[in-house]
Amino acid sequence: MLKSIFSIAILGLCAGTVKAQDMLQALGHSPDLYINHTVKKGENFYSIGRTYGLSPKQIATANNTTLDKGLQLGNELHIPLTPANFSQKAGASGTPVYHKVAEKETLYRVSVSFNKVPLDNIRQWNNFSGDGLKKDSYLIVGYLTSGGGGAPAVAAATPAPKKPAPAPAEEQAAEPVAEQPALPSPTKEGAKKAEPRPVQDQPEQIAEAPITTAPAAPRPTPVATGDNFEEVYNQQTSNGKKAASEKGPGTWFKSNAVGKYYALHNTAPRGTIIKVTNPLNGKAIYAKVLDVIPQMKANAGLIVKLSDGAQQALGSEETKFYCELSYEK
C-alpha cells in the first residue's frame, strides 16, 4: 500500500513539471487517436506529412479537406496516430506522446483508451509501479516514431525520457510554395546549404511518357545555375559519360524559387540533377529532381515538369515544350 502511494506521489511530482504546450498530447480514443499540429510559416501538406510519417492525402482526409485547398498559417490540424508513425511496443523510442489523466481515471482505463497498450509498458515508460494515477498528471502512452512533430524535449513522468532524434536542418529551411496541389519534397545534399524548395503533391507514379521525334538541333550550350547543380551533375554522370538520355514534352509548375531550378521526373531518384536542353536553340539548364510527376490527366505524356524560373533560361514561351534530358543512369 505504501509503495503504491509513494509511486503516485513521484508520478505526480514529475508530471507537474511538464507543460502541455511543450509536448505531444494524444487525443481521441482507440482506434482514432491523433495529436494536434499548428501550421507554421512555410509548411504545407507534404512537409507536414514527412514530419509525421504520413502521406499528404492522409492528413487532408483526417481534417475533412482536400490538397488543392492548401493550408493557412495558424491552422490547427489533426495528425492521425497510426502503426506507421506511432509505436507502443516495450522497446519503443522516438518522441514521447502523452495523455493527461482525468479525474478518477485508472491505469486500466488509460490502457483501453490507447489501443490496449500493456500496463507494464506504461509503468516502464513512466518509471512507476502500481495502478494508482493522480488527476492532471501526464503519462507517456507511446512514442511518435517519424520526425517527432517538432515538439521540444520535455520533462516526462520518467526521470530520463527517451530523447527524440534531432530534425535535419534542411527541414526547417524556407520552402518556396508551388501553386499546384502537388507537393514534392527535395532530398538532402549532405552538408550543403539549405535550399528553398517548390512544393508539389506526392503523387502515384505514372507510366513513362512516349518518346517523340525532335527537329535537328544546334549543339547545346550548358548554363550552370543554382548552387553548383552543374558540378553535382558532372559528379553523378562522370562528366556525362554515364548518363541516360530521354526526349519528349515537358511543362512548368509555378514556384517562388530564385536562382535555382527544380524538376519532377518519373524515373530519376530524388536529388538527381537533370540536364534539360531545348533542342530548338541549344540552351540548357540543370535542375534538381524533387519527386515524380503527379498522376493527373493534364500531365499525361509528359517526361518532365520544371519550375517556371527555368522558362526564360531555356528561351521558351510555350506552355508545353519539347526537350532533351540527361541524368545519372
- Mean per-residue pLDDT over the chain, rounded: 76
The alpha helices in 176-308, defined as continuous H runs, are 229-237
Fold annotation for 169-329? Barwin-like endoglucanases (2.40.40)
Q: Among 48-62, 98-112, 169-183, 291-305, which stretch is predicted with the lowest mean pLDDT?
A: 169-183
pLDDT bin (cut points 50, 70, 90) of residue 258 is: confident
**β-sheet bridge partners, residue 232:** none
The per-residue pLDDT for 147 is 55
Percentage of residues of the chain with pLDDT beyond 70: 68
- Dihedral angle sign, alpha carbons of residues 171, 309, 296, 207: negative
Q: Are 157 and 137 in contact (CB under 8 A)?
A: yes
Predicted confidence at residue 139, as pLDDT, reads 92
Question: Average of pLDDT values for 169-179?
Answer: 41
Sign of CA dihedral 179, 185, 186, 191: positive
Residue 202 has pLDDT above 60, yes or no: no
Would you say residue 223 has pLDDT above 50?
no
Spell out the domain ranges in the chain.
2-144, 169-329
User: Which residues lie closer than 8 Å to 236 by C-beta, 6 or more apart?
Assistant: 272, 273, 327, 328
Q: Is residue 218 classed as helix, strand or coil in its secondary structure?
A: coil
Q: At which residue does the C-alpha cell 506552355 appear?
A: 319
Q: Rounded to an integer, what distance in angstroms lies between the CA atom of residue 220 and that of residue 223?
A: 9
Strands 221-222 and 95-100, bridge-based pairing? unpaired
pLDDT above 90 for 289: yes
